[in-house]
Amino acid sequence: MDIRQKIKEIENSAHEALSSKRAALADDLIKLKNDFLGKTGRISELMKGMRDVAPEDRPTVGKLLNDLRSAIGEKFDAAIEGAKAKELELRFKKEAVDVTMPGRTPETGAVHPNTLVKDELVSIFAGMGFEVFEGPEIENDYYNFTALNTPADHPARDMQDTFYISENLLLRTQTSAGQIRVMENKKPPIKILSPGKVYRSDDDATHSPMFSQMEGLVVDKGITLCDLKGMLDVFAERIFGKGVKTRLRPSYFPFTEPSVEVDVSCFECGGKGCRLCKGTGWIEVLGAGMVNRRVLEGCGIDPDVYSGFAFGMGIERIAMLKYGVNNMKLLFEGDIRFLKQFKD
How big, in percent rounded to 5, are the helix, strand and coil portions of the chain? 45, 20, 35
Candidates 187, 175, 205; CA nearest to 310 is 175
**Considering the rule CB under 6 A, would residue 310 count as an interface residue with ligand PHE?**
yes
256-265/282-291 β-pairing: antiparallel
- Closest approach of ligand PHE to the CB of residue 326, in Å: 22
Instruction: Candidates 195, 287, 298, 308: give the one binding ligand PHE (CB under 6 A).
Output: 287
Which class for 277: exposed (0-12), middle (13-18), buried (19 or more C-beta within 10 A)?
Answer: buried
**Span near ligand PHE by CB under 6 A; candidates 82-90, 137-145, 203-211, 286-294:** 286-294
Which class for 337: exposed (0-12), middle (13-18), buried (19 or more C-beta within 10 A)?
Answer: exposed
What is the C-alpha to C-alpha distance for residues 161 and 120, in angstroms, rounded to an integer? 29
**Considering the rule CB under 6 A, would residue 113 count as an interface residue with ligand PHE?**
no
**Span near ligand PHE by CB under 6 A; candidates 109-117, 137-145, 305-313, 330-338:** 305-313
**Span near ligand PHE by CB under 6 A; candidates 21-29, 277-285, 287-295, 318-326:** 287-295
What is the C-alpha to C-alpha distance for residues 144 and 139, in angstroms, rounded to an integer? 6
Please say which residue, 41 or 258, places its beta carbon nearer to ligand PHE. 258
Instruction: Candidates 130, 228, 312, 319: give the one binding ligand PHE (CB under 6 A).
Output: 312
**Span near ligand PHE by CB under 6 A; candidates 164-172, 189-197, 237-245, 308-316:** 308-316
- Closest approach of ligand PHE to the CB of residue 332, in Å: 19
Instruction: Candidates 223, 264, 288, 331: give the one binding ligand PHE (CB under 6 A).
Output: 288
- Is 79 strand, coil or helix? helix
Residues 164-223 that bind ligand PHE (CB under 6 A): 174, 176, 215
Candidates 255, 198, 193, 262; CA nearest to 228 is 262
Please say which residue, 135 or 287, places its beta carbon nearer to ligand PHE. 287
Instruction: Candidates 283, 311, 320, 328: give the one binding ligand PHE (CB under 6 A).
Output: 311
CA atoms within 13 A on the CB side of 38: 9
Residue sitting closest to ligand PHE (CB)? 312
**What single letter denotes the amino acid at residue 272?**
K
Candidates 309, 304, 306; CA nearest to 227 is 309
Please say which residue, 179 or 265, places its beta carbon nearer to ligand PHE. 179
- Closest approach of ligand PHE to the CB of residue 136, in Å: 16
Residues 253-282 that bind ligand PHE (CB under 6 A): 253, 256
What is the C-alpha to C-alpha distance for residues 22 and 83, in angstroms, rounded to an integer? 8
- Closest approach of ligand PHE to the CB of residue 198, in Å: 7
Please say which residue, 113 or 312, places its beta carbon nearer to ligand PHE. 312
**Span near ligand PHE by CB under 6 A; candidates 26-34, 97-105, 125-133, 307-315:** 307-315
Contacts of 7 (CB under 8 A, 6+ apart): 46, 61, 64, 65, 68
Which H or E run includes 283?
strand 282-291
Which residues bind to ligand PHE, rule: CB under 6 A? 174, 176, 215, 253, 256, 287-289, 310-312
